Structure 1
Amino acid sequence: MTTARLAPRTALFLPASNPRAIEKARGLSADLVILDLEDAVKDADKATARIAAVEAVAQGFGPRLAAIRLNGIESGEHLEDVAAVAASRADFAVLPKAESAADVAQVARALGKPLLAMIETPLGVLAAADIAAVPGVSGLIAGTNDLAASLRLPPSSGRAQMGVALQTIVLAARASQVWALDGVFNRLDDPEGLAAECGEGRALGYDGKSLIHPNQIEIAARVFGPSEAERADARALIAAATGGAERYEGRMIETMHVDQARALLDRI
């Protein structure tokens, strides 16, 4: 499914059970707010969190997109979540631990609204291309924490050990022209590390970053956006191009490069 909206650079997860966090999010600059009903919410609070999420998206988040993350398919809360989110004003639903196109298709049909599928397990990675192609799926989100655990990576491992999986998710998203959002960065007091990981994600082809703290928004938005040098080069390339293959600033360019430059400027 091709989505007409520009992909978010920043997607902030927050517990739907935390009213203060929800209210604060209305004034934040995140492109997408994801109200979480799954991991961030205690079992005893699931029902009230569901009600709070529906009420929150009804009030809206200004210019920001809003999504609600469902409990997983195997959860006893899943069907109630689907019914509530389907009737809500959420722009998107988020499905955790997507592992098969058939299951994702069933959820997408029941929701009747755009779905972001989280790829968090080896089965999910192997099925990512089929999942991305499901009608109603607007994007894939790399669930790097769960993916690292399910791959049995030691705690000392870095993202390099997930490189094949991370690139597979991007390939799947691009094949179906849907969004690809990178996984969260856990170290809240390491802005340099966050910036480096955002740069790595952008270099892999991800559109944006999923986040777990408001302090991460500015860094991710900056790194996933074009730099001034990139913007200037894109404008100059477009102005210089006359059609067909030609020499520009010591390199060969053609229509594809002009299209890339225009796409970059659209991200401003």
Structure 2
Amino acid sequence: MIASSRPRRSALYMPASNARALEKAKTLDCDVVIMDLEDAVAPEAKAEARAAAAEAVRGGDYGERELVIRINRLDTEWGIADVQAAVGASPHAILLPKVESASEVLQLEAMMEGLKARPETRIWCMIETPRGFLKLEKIAAASPRLACLVMGLADLVKDLRALDTVDRAPLHFAMSRAVMVARAMGLDVLDGMYPNIKDEDGLVRQCRQARAFGFDGKTLIHPSQIAPTNAAFAPSDAEVEQARRIIAAFEAAEQAGKGLAVLNGQMIEALHAQTARRVLAMAGER
């Protein structure tokens, strides 16, 4: 597994069947654009959405935003064609929904290898069901292409027959488990979406909660949610300044032929420098 230093504070779902939405995403300050072929697209529009997503990715007009295509499940009538189109377009990642077993990840990996997908095209997995959370460790270890876990907590609440509360107390175990597994496997992990687009206070509360749990960012369903989410997941000025000091100290040590640096009495190694670079990336210093 390869840990990424990419900022993934805000990952915005955009229905690939909506041409205006795909065009608008080119101007938005989100870190990730998820072009959705699944839940947001009606069955009769699946083929059109698939072609539009592939064309948008190939167009290359999204700057430094990470581009992800969420396909339909492989056992649906659209799944195989979705993979073929996505691999041909070479997005940064293919997002597999409702993953409940490692075998599903391996099936997608085998299809991608057979289609000669670029090594840089990663797999992201959505974890949305009790079975998926129970199998999370095996799912997370299934493929070296896997880069990120994405929570589908709205579906999980329904499956658990739990109450959908802003504080998400019924989901704390699942959230903590997701972060722990992700960190153990060197993956990123994104919090689930907040459905009430008019409730910014609730969104910010959940963003701060997710950051406290250790999530790298949050999936979003509306452009108005981007700025509050980016702000909530951004490091503080003090954290940014400390990261700059760590990187400067480590680079100076490297130039002197040393593998270690000392900053304010603390040993600085390559791992510390990597973490510091991620802090700067999260702060928008790309």
Same fold (TM over 0.5): yes
Which residue pairs with 1:126 in the alignment? 134
CA contact (8 A) 2:16 2:53 kept: yes
Shift of 1:42: 0.5
CA contact (8 A) 1:108 1:137 kept: no
Q: Which residue of the other structure, out of 186, 191, 210, is the alignment partner of 2:195?
A: 186
Shift of 1:76: 1.4
Which residue pairs with 1:81 in the alignment? 82
Equivalences for residues 13-32 of structure 1 within 5 A: 13-32=13-32
Which residue pairs with 1:250 in the alignment? none
In 2, Cα distance between equivalents of 1:165 and 1:171: 10
Residue type of the alignment partner of 1:200: Q
What does the per-residue CA deviation read over 1:3-30, in whole Å, with 9 as the maximum and x for residues that have no partner?
4442411110010000000000011111
> 1:266/1:62 Cα in 2 relative to 1: closer, same or farther (>3 Å)?
closer
In 2, Cα distance between equivalents of 1:118 and 1:157: 21
Q: Which runs of 5+ in 1 are unaligned?
A: 245-253
In the alignment, does 2:40 pair up with 1:40? yes
CA contact (8 A) 1:7 1:179 kept: no
Equivalences for residues 42-81 of structure 1 within 5 A: 42-60=42-60, 61-81=62-82
> 1:145/1:104 Cα in 2 relative to 1: closer, same or farther (>3 Å)?
same
CA contact (8 A) 1:66 1:90 kept: yes
In 2, Cα distance between equivalents of 1:262 and 1:85: 30
In the alignment, does 2:158 pair up with 1:149? yes
Shift of 1:215: 0.7
Shift of 1:165: 0.6
CA contact (8 A) 2:8 2:282 kept: no
Structure 1 residue ranges, 4+ long, deviating more than 6 angstroms after superposition: 236-239, 254-257
Equivalences for residues 149-188 of structure 1 within 5 A: 149-155=158-164, 158-188=167-197
In 2, Cα distance between equivalents of 1:45 and 1:33: 20
CA contact (8 A) 1:241 1:258 kept: no
Which residue pairs with 2:207 in the alignment? 198
In 1, Cα distance between equivalents of 2:83 and 2:89: 10
In 2, Cα distance between equivalents of 1:192 and 1:99: 33
Deviates more, 1:255-264 or 1:219-228: 255-264
Residue type of the alignment partner of 2:132: G
In the alignment, does 2:24 pair up with 1:9? no
- Name the TM-score, length of structure 1 as normaliser: 0.89
> 1:171/1:96 Cα in 2 relative to 1: closer, same or farther (>3 Å)?
same
Which residue pairs with 2:124 in the alignment? 116
> 1:79/1:230 Cα in 2 relative to 1: closer, same or farther (>3 Å)?
same
In 1, Cα distance between equivalents of 2:211 and 2:270: 19
Q: Which runs of 5+ in 2 are unaligned?
A: 250-261
Percent identity over paired residues: 39
Which residue pairs with 2:257 in the alignment? none
In 2, Cα distance between equivalents of 1:127 and 1:50: 29
What does the per-residue CA deviation read over 1:140-176, in whole Å, with 9 as the maximum and x for residues that have no partner?
0011111111112134575110110111111111111
In 2, Cα distance between equivalents of 1:81 and 1:257: 37
In 2, Cα distance between equivalents of 1:167 and 1:6: 22
In 2, Cα distance between equivalents of 1:83 and 1:258: 39
In 2, Cα distance between equivalents of 1:118 and 1:71: 11
> 1:156/1:11 Cα in 2 relative to 1: closer, same or farther (>3 Å)?
closer
Deviates more, 1:149-158 or 1:205-214: 149-158
Which residue pairs with 1:249 in the alignment? none
Shift of 1:196: 1.0
